[in-house]
Chains A and B, each alone.
Chain A
Amino acid sequence: MSPNLRIAFRFLTAKKRAMLMSLSCIVLGVGLFVVTQATTSGFEEFFIKTILGTNGAIRIEDKIQFTIRSMAAGGWGSKYEIKTKEGRKYIEGIEEPKLVIDAVRRFPNVAGVSEVLHGAVIMRSSFKTESVRVYGINLDDHERVSDIRRQIVRGNIADFQGAITGSLVGLEMAQRMQLEVGDTYQLEVGGQVRRYKVTAIYETGVSDIDRVRVYLNMGEARSLLMKPTGASFIQVGLIDKDRAREDAKRMTEVLQHNTKSWQEREKTWLDVFYALRISSAITVSVFTLIAGLAMFNTLAMIVMEKTKEIAILRSMGYTREDISRIFLWQATIVLAIGTVTGWILGAAITFGVSRTPINIRGIFAADTFIVSWSIWHYVAATVTAVLMVMLASLVPARRAARLEPGDVIRGTAQ
């Protein structure tokens, strides 16, 4: 053990109560930082997982058509014309889904592509009538771009495959229409009425989906909605979801279709989560700030009380840097113990919170608090604590180093 570290350790133990105060603040600061980051990130990650599992990483819809304006360049009757792009117009839906799908599959980051046809219909059960939206899908394709299989809460999705009158109904819709697996209901559109059976009930947790979406097999959906060709949109699954923004941009350029990444589609919610994560980090950092102030206070007290000792150390050949290091070591020791204890506290609370029952429905479905276990939360908490505590410790450490031994001894002796 270096002499400076040895002295630092003994100085620390001489001020147990004050040091315990600083230590408690560091433990709380680090622990709560970890917990808040784990919970806010947990909900954010779960929300992202939900939107990827329902609407996919990328959605390609509406064809883009640029509007061109021509101007005669050489006066009235001139043969010369200048054509300029005036703006863009969107043509609803995708006219040639097969061509677009073939082109999309060539993107290296694409994991799956599913064409979807949707339209508004009236649903009638024995008890109620509601406006809903039919979504025609090819199950095999759609499973590659969503979590539809995992979202089934009642019934068996395998029974849906190829079943002409089979349908997947959202949980909220099923409850409102009082439908169970095996029940039948009618869908009415354009004067035709057809009867379908509830093959399975799904729950995404997203109210806007679970309340209005009925999945039918694509062939049946085309027949019901009377749209033998085309698609409403194409849902794309990605290998690396974080590259969705760049891929969507390129797809827009290449395919000339309006293409949106999940980040763009859900920007509002993602911004809310981000703001929540930052604001909670700032709030909890107050504890770490208090830890820094407590450390400043304790070290400043030790410097004042130990001026004689500092002078005698200087007389024995300890340099100004040694004195400074002795005080920084004290901060480092408390910081190290506080940080490790804070990690343990943070992990324990995070574990406890993850077991706490909670019922969230609306933007996702959660029955317990969602937490995220990430090493980066611990790293961020540590960096915050190190910055605050070490910056706060620099001032008393430098002050101790600047003490002139002659002045101290003369002052004590008089």
Chain B
Amino acid sequence: MPSDQARIALKCSNIHRYLGQGEGRVHVLKGVSFEAHPGQVYAIVGPSGCGKSTLLYLLGLLDRQDDGDIWIDERKMSDRSDAERTAARGEHIGFVFQFHFLMQEFTALENVMMPMRKLGRLSPRDMEERARHLLDSVGLGDKAHRLGNQLSGGEQQRVAIARALANQPAIILADEPTGNLDVKNSGMVFDLLTKLAKENGQAVILVTHNPDIANRCDTIRPMRDGVFI
């Protein structure tokens, strides 16, 4: 049985991705390879337009690569059907985005329960219990019944973290999770994300422009012009 450090939670090899069409077609990712291990926090950094977010969406199976392969928990997912990739996303991957993307018509508690309801592993009572526990973990236990638009930006991002952790995924992908927050909230959100992920042995891959945040990660992978440097 390999240790967590030896196990590979996510891997991609020789990824190519083009965006746009015709004369506007751009070769965004030019043969990128990457590995993420459980319990490790990775920062992908680089200038705007270098392909960081594009790579993150490919790793999260939200987009399809033009060439190359992606494995999640040692299962090759790059050539699977949309339904299989969607199921894998629900089970193995949690997302945190820059703009929170909370469902504004739902309370914080309901937002956190939403991925669990889809996966359907837990009973409704257990789902609610876990959602409350996660909201407590991000310090929002007393605001569980507030609607998304009744929370501040920092609070919304903390709910988004709780939601990303809801199904206990092996991988957390975060696209500029602190990009829309002030310094104080940025630090708090990053600390929360990494602390909870490490406690649960999850691999965290985050894209950031913030050097302070990047420097606090276990591994920094700088990118430029569609390749890791």
B-chain residues with CB within 8 Å of residue A313 when the two chains form the complex? 114
Do residues B103 and A314 form an inter-chain contact, with CB atoms below 8 A?
Answer: no
Give B109-156 interface residues, CB cut-off 8 Å to A: 114-115, 117-119
Give A1-59 interface residues, CB cut-off 8 Å to B: 3, 6-7, 10-11, 13-14
Do residues A319 and B91 form an inter-chain contact, with CB atoms below 8 A?
Answer: no
- A409 close to B (CB within 8 Å): yes
A320 to B63, CA, bound (A): 14
Contacts A314-B89, A317-B86 supplied; 4 other A-B pairs, CB < 8 Å: A7-B114, A317-B90, A406-B57, A410-B53
- A315 close to B (CB within 8 Å): yes
Q: Identify which of A13, A308, A404 contacts B63 (C-beta below 8 A).
A: A404
The closest CB in chain A to the CB of B124 belongs to A1
Do residues A319 and B83 form an inter-chain contact, with CB atoms below 8 A?
Answer: yes
Q: Identify which of B83, B90, B98 contacts A316 (C-beta below 8 A).
A: B90
A137 to B98, CA, bound (A): 94
Chain B interfacial positions (CB closer than 8 Å to A): 53-54, 57-58, 60, 62-63, 82-83, 86-87, 89-91, 93, 95, 97-99, 101, 103-106, 114-115, 117-119, 163, 167, 175-176
A315 to B60, CA, bound (A): 8
How many residues of A are in contact with the other chain, CB < 8 A? 28
B-chain residues with CB within 8 Å of residue A413 when the two chains form the complex? 53, 97-99, 175-176
A-chain residues with CB within 8 Å of residue B99 when the two chains form the complex? 308, 412-413
A13 to B105, CA, bound (A): 8
Total contacts A to B, CB within 8 angstroms?
83
Write out, one digit per residue, whether chain A residues 379-414 have a CB within 8 A of any chain B CB (1) or not (0). Answer: 000000000000000000000000011110110110
* Distance between A32 CB and nearest chain B CB, rounded to angstroms: 33
The closest CB in chain B to the CB of A306 belongs to B103
Do residues B86 and A318 form an inter-chain contact, with CB atoms below 8 A?
Answer: yes
A-chain residues with CB within 8 Å of residue B83 when the two chains form the complex? 319
Do residues A317 and B101 form an inter-chain contact, with CB atoms below 8 A?
Answer: no
B-chain residues with CB within 8 Å of residue A7 when the two chains form the complex? 103, 114
Given contacts A309-B103, A410-B57, contact A405 B90 (CB under 8 A): no
The closest CB in chain B to the CB of A315 belongs to B95
- A179 close to B (CB within 8 Å): no
A309 to B100, CA, bound (A): 10
* Distance between A236 CB and nearest chain B CB, rounded to angstroms: 66
Give A333-379 interface residues, CB cut-off 8 Å to B: none
Q: List 16 A-B contacts (CB under 8 A).
A: A10-B106, A309-B103, A315-B89, A315-B93, A316-B89, A316-B114, A317-B118, A318-B86, A319-B82, A320-B82, A404-B62, A406-B63, A407-B63, A409-B62, A413-B97, A413-B98
Given contacts A3-B118, A308-B101, A412-B99, contact A317 B89 (CB under 8 A): yes
Do residues B119 and A317 form an inter-chain contact, with CB atoms below 8 A?
Answer: yes
Write out, one digit per residue, whether chain A residues 231-246 have a CB within 8 A of any chain B CB (1) or not (0). Answer: 0000000000000000
A195 to B197, CA, bound (A): 113
A-chain residues with CB within 8 Å of residue B95 when the two chains form the complex? 312, 315-316
A52 to B58, CA, bound (A): 76
**7 closest cross-chain pairs (CB), A and B:** A317-B90, A406-B63, A10-B105, A3-B117, A406-B62, A312-B101, A316-B115
The closest CB in chain B to the CB of A318 belongs to B118
The closest CB in chain A to the CB of B120 belongs to A3
A-chain residues with CB within 8 Å of residue B91 when the two chains form the complex? 317
Do residues A322 and B118 form an inter-chain contact, with CB atoms below 8 A?
Answer: yes
* Distance between A402 CB and nearest chain B CB, rounded to angstroms: 11
